[in-house]
Each structure stands twice: as structure tokens, then as C-alpha cells.
Amino acid sequence: MKTSEFFEAIDNDRVVAAIGAAEGRSRGEIRVHVARGRVDDAEAAARKHFERLGMTKTAERNGVLILVAPESQTFAIVGDEGLHRFCPEGFWGTVVEEMRGAFRESRFTDGLVEAVSRVGDVLSRHFPRTPGEPDENELPDAISRG
């Protein structure tokens, strides 16, 4: 599937709302990035985009990037060092496989929303919001592409 077709197939507003809701339960940051063209190594591409998008600059190093490469049908999730230590071995892979299942059924928006929600669960468990304290949205909630 071409990147432009993928963007036409998803409900951007619903994904962005899911990011906002997930971040609203924690002090973490979530981004969804859609890669253009073929991506042979989704995890390496996710790490590259993680850096390029400034995700290592969050105060608590608790950002998470969900990368989707529609043309090669590959996916990856990368968490920053502040969060990575809390995630069991294979956790991100499990979320990726759940997303892949939804995508196989052409439920692209559902797959992204479910992945964002799962990431939000982990962030809220390990980086809960402190009642009464404001939380700065350090990164844009929009779906990025490139």
C-alpha cells in the first residue's frame, strides 16, 4: 500500500485523539510516524526517526514512537531509555503483532488506536500524572510522515 493510500484509509482525528487520551493518563509522550517508501529494517528506521523527531529530548526520557511503513508493511515501536527498563522482553513486539493483525484485516485506524492505548497503559503505570500538577505536552500529537 502506498503511503498516500494509507493516509486516506485512516481516521487521522481518531488516532490523534487516542494519542491525546493516552498521554492524558501519564507524563509520557507518544508519536506515530508513517515512513515513506520501503523500509527493510523497521526497528532501525524507528530509531532513526526517534532521534530525528527529537524524542530523546523529553524531560523523563519516556517517549515512545510507533512507526508504520505501509509500502513494506513493516512496523516497529521504540521506547526511550526512561521507559524501556520497565517493559518486559518482547513487549513492543507483542504490540506490533497485535497491530499487524488489525492491519491484515484492513482495520488500520483500529490497529493504531489499540497500539497507542497499549503504550498509554504502560506509560500511565510507570509515569502516572501527579494530581494537581500540570503536564507539558513536549511533543506534537500529530501523525508525522517522512
Q: Report pLDDT digits (tens) over 87-146.
A: 877 888 999 999 999 999 999 999 999 999 999 999 999 999 887 777 788 888 989 998
Per DSSP, the residues of 39-88 read: -S-HHHHHHHHHHHTTGGGSTTS-EEEEEEETTTTEEEEEE-HHHHTTSP
Let me know: does 98 contact 4? Beta carbons within 8 Å: no
Q: What percent of the chain lies above the pLDDT cut of 70? A: 100
**Other Cβ atoms closer than 10 A to 110:** 17
Residue ranges making up the domain that contains 56: 3-145
Q: Identify the CA nearest to 35 among candidates 78, 73, 9, 79.
A: 73
Distance CA 6, CA 111 (A): 13
Number of folded domains that form the chain: 1
Whether the pTM exceeds 0.85: the reply is yes
The pLDDT of residue 134 is: 76
CATH code of the domain in which 122 resides: 3.10.310.50
